[in-house]
Amino acid sequence: MGEFELIRRFFASAACAAGGEGVALGIGDDCALLHVPPGEQLAISTDTLVAGVHFPLDADPFLLGQRALAVSVSDLAAMGATPVAFTLALTLPDARADWLDGFARGLCAMAQDCRIALVGGDTTRGPLCLTLTVFGRLPVGLALRRSGARPGDLLCVGGSLGDGAGALPLVLGERQDTGPEAQYLLQRYWAPQPQLALGEALRGRATAALDISDGLLADCGHIARASGVALMVESARLPLSDALQALFPRDFALNCALAGGDDYRLAFTLPAAELAAVQADWPDVAVIGRVEAGQGVHLLDVAGAELQPPALGYQHFGSQGD
C-alpha cells in the first residue's frame, strides 16, 4: 500500500476529516486553511508519542488512536481553547491495513467527541511514532496560562487523580483483573476525556491552569515557577476514585495521584470568591490546597506538617519531574 493510498483510505475519507467550524480548507492541498474570527486567536500545541515510551508496542490500535488525540486536545482544554483542527504525522514500521483501520477508527471517534477536524499531516516509514498538532481558538486576552497564580488563591483540580497511573499495571500486564474497577481505570487511561468545557468556563475566573500529564506535583511546579509563588498541596484533600482505592492500598493510590501522571485533569488556581460558582456547574472540582507567597510545591499532611514525597513525577531526561 502506497503512502497516498494509505492517506486516502484511512484518513482523508474519515468523518473527522470532513471539516467543521473554523476549517476553510482541509486535506488535499499543501496546507490546510483555518479561519479565526475577529477578536480571537489560535492556540497551538504539539505532542509526540513513541512506542515503548508512551504506550506498549502491542497496544490495541483503536485504543491508541483515542488516547493519542485525547492527550493532545487536553492541552487546548488547559488554555481554555475551543478545538478547531489537528494534524497527524504518523511513522509506521509497515502499512498493515488491520492496524490502520483500528487506529483510524479510534482517532476519528475521539475527534468527533471533541469536535475537532483532521486537516492534514504526513506518513513515513520507521519505528512506530505519532505526532499530533492541535489548533484551538479563544478570545484574545482570555487564555488560561501558568503565570497568574496569586497568594490567597485556592488550588483546585477537575476531578479524581491517580486513575491513569493506577491503570498502568493493568496496561502492562503486571496485574490481571477484569472486574468493573479495573475496567474503569483502563477506560480512564485509554480514553481520557479532555476537560474542554471546564477550561472554557474557567476563562476570566482561574488565575493559572494546566493539564496534569506528568504528575500533580511535577505539573504544579510549573505553575509555582511561572507565577513566582508557593503551592501548598494538602494530601488529605486529594480526590481518589472508588475504583483506585478498591484495587490498591491507600499509600499506592496516593502516590499515583501525586506523581503518577496520565490524569489529564485540569489543575488550576482560583480566587476563593469564584469557587461556589464553579462547583455549582462542576461538582467534581475539588480544592486540594492553596497558594502562598514563596516558591515551589509543598506537600502537607492533615496537621499541616510538610511531607517528603517519594517522587515528583515523570520526566524524559531525568529521574523525576522538575
Domains 3-139 and 154-307 share a fold: no
- pLDDT at 175 > cutoff 60: yes
pLDDT average, residue stretch 58-63 = 95
pLDDT band at 1; cut points 50, 70, 90: low
- pLDDT at 317 > cutoff 70: no
- Please report, as a single letter, which amino acid is at residue 294: G
Higher pLDDT residue, 81 or 4? Answer: 81
- pLDDT at 182 > cutoff 50: yes
Residues 136 and 203: beta-carbon distance below 8 Å: no
Angstrom distance (rounded) from CA 296 to CA 232? 9
Angstrom distance (rounded) from CA 316 to CA 265? 21
pLDDT band at 165; cut points 50, 70, 90: very high
The DSSP bridge partners found for residue 298 are 232
CATH topology of domain 3-139: 60s Ribosomal Protein L30; Chain: A; (3.30.1330)
pLDDT band at 310; cut points 50, 70, 90: low
Looking at domain 154-307, which of 1.10.300.10, 3.90.650.10, 3.40.50.1100, 2.40.50.1070 is its CATH number? 3.90.650.10
- pLDDT at 312 > cutoff 80: no
SS3 312: coil
pLDDT of residue 322: 35
Q: How far apart are the first and last CA of the chain?
A: 44
- pLDDT at 238 > cutoff 50: yes
SS3 122: strand
- pLDDT at 320 > cutoff 60: no
Domain map (residue ranges) of the chain? 3-139, 154-307
